[in-house]
Amino acid sequence: MVETTNINVTKVAKSKLKDLDFSNLPFGKHFTDHMLVATYANGGWQSVEIRPYEALSLQPSIVAIHYGQAIFEGIKAYRYENGEAQIFRPYDNYKRFNISAERMCMPTVPQEIFIEGMKQLIELDKEWIPTEADHSLYIRPFMFATDEIIGVKPSENYLFIIILSPTGPYYAAPMKILVEETYTRAAPGGVGFAKNAGNYAASLLATQLAKQKGYDQILWTDAFEHKWLQEVGTMNVFFIIGNTAVTPSLEEGTILAGVTRDTTITVLKEMGLTVEERKISIDELVDAYDAGTLKEVFGTGTAATISLIEKLKYQEKVLTFDLDKLTVAPELKNRLDDIRTGKSPDTHGWMISV
């Protein structure tokens, strides 16, 4: 089985880097020269290699395509002025990846492959990390089932892959949000806490319908009463009520435990806010709005960091937020950016050098 040092490296004959236009890097569109590929078979991880980024050749019968045994992660790395590459909280994503793996009956991935492999891959493609403000390297680790048989059971073969995508500023326009009362993202006992591919497929229709009505995203509610708030689109959600930040708690298993969510909780406390992780209903939110105490609503996630919300619609009620009066979200975003780009000291040990 695999030892740390056993990563086989095959480099590209010719780098594609000179073709990359660093001034035009839409999210998730361009990939670096290399990828990491690990193979699971016979009850263990058999091989790990870094090789040129290229198409995979797979049988049409593989389990992931038919039954959705597939999970992923999203992480960002930055290049500092001294040329060093730094990854933001990869150990937290590593832990979550294996939680997702267990829920989907997949093997866990050892740290030597996930973390050390990631570091080695990034080191090799370091020149691809954009250094301009608000740019980063988006890291996408993923795993999927490769048994070549159309039968419903946990696969015995898997591929774990890491690909890297240089990414420009993710301009997240302030969002208009519809409170969802028909469709459900996650129910207790389900897979809402796992970062599995199917959760995204399941969310597309409701989001598309909201878009047809002029909204950008959905505020998901619970499966039974459609009144307990869960997440906004594919982001965690925060409500600023007076001097308190409220975010839905994790214990029911219907919330994806975001690394940005956890980071936000820590930084909001440092900013002097009280943070409550608990159940919060749409009724409480509307009451706080009517009382004038609901100040801000925003989403958190790796891709956009903080996404502002300017309008929220629930049945006939419309809540609007004056973006010029926001204080918490803009300061939070600045603090997060400063930590990740090395402008302010990393007092929590969140930045991991490659």
Ligand X SMILES: *Cc1c(COP(=O)(O)O)cnc(C)c1O
Q: How far apart are CA 121 and CA 349, in angstroms?
A: 22
Give min distance, CB of 163 to ligand X, in A: 16
H/E stretch holding 247 reads strand 244-247
User: Which residues share a beta bridge with 239?
Assistant: 246, 297
Q: Does 231 help bind ligand X (rule: CB under 6 A)?
A: yes
Radius of gyration of the chain measured on its C-alpha atoms: 21
Segment interacting with ligand X, rule: CB under 6 A, options 163-171, 174-182, 211-219, 231-239: 231-239
Q: Is position 74 an interface residue for ligand X (rule: CB under 6 A)?
A: yes
Q: Does 313 bind ligand X (CB under 6 A)?
A: no
CB-nearer residue toward ligand X: 168 or 288 = 168
Selected range binding ligand X among 12-20, 112-120, 163-171, 232-240, rule: CB under 6 A: 232-240
**Which of these ranges, 222-230, 251-259, 281-289, 328-336, lies near ligand X under the rule CB under 6 A?**
251-259
Binding flags for ligand X, 289-308, as an x/- string (CB under 6 A): -----------xxx------
| Between 176 and 261, CB nearer to ligand X | 261
Which residue, among 279, 283, 307, 306, has the nearest Cα to 294 in the 3D structure? Answer: 283
117 touching ligand X, by CB under 6 A: no
What is the C-alpha separation between 83 and 75, in angstroms, rounded? 19
Q: DSSP assignment of 256-279, as one string? A: ---HHHHHHHHHHHHTT-EEEES-
Rounded to an integer, what distance in angstroms lies between the CA atom of residue 238 and that of residue 313?
Answer: 16
Nearest-approach distance from CB 232 to ligand X, in angstroms: 9
Check residue 259 for interaction with ligand X (CB under 6 A). yes
Interaction between residue 68 and ligand X (CB under 6 A): no
Minimum distance of ligand X from residue 21's CB (angstroms)? 26
Q: Is 52 helix (H, G, I), strand (E, B) or coil?
A: strand
- Is 235 a binding residue for ligand X by CB under 6 A? The answer is yes
Interface with ligand X, residue 141, by CB under 6 A:
no
Which of the ranges 42-50, 130-138, 171-179, 253-261 carries the binding residues for ligand X, by CB under 6 A?
253-261
Query: Closest by alpha carbon to 332, among 307, 295, 303?
Result: 307
Q: Does 166 bind ligand X (CB under 6 A)?
A: no
CA 268, chain centre distance (Å): 20
Q: At what angle do helices 259-270 and 90-103 cross, to 10 degrees?
A: 140
What phi, psi does 100 have (nearest 5°)? -60, -40
The residue (of 139 and 241) whose beta carbon lies closer to ligand X is 139
Looking at residue 318, its amino acid is V
Q: Binding of ligand X at residue 195 (CB under 6 A)?
A: yes
Binding site for ligand X (CB under 6 A): 74, 195, 231, 234-236, 256, 258-261, 300-302
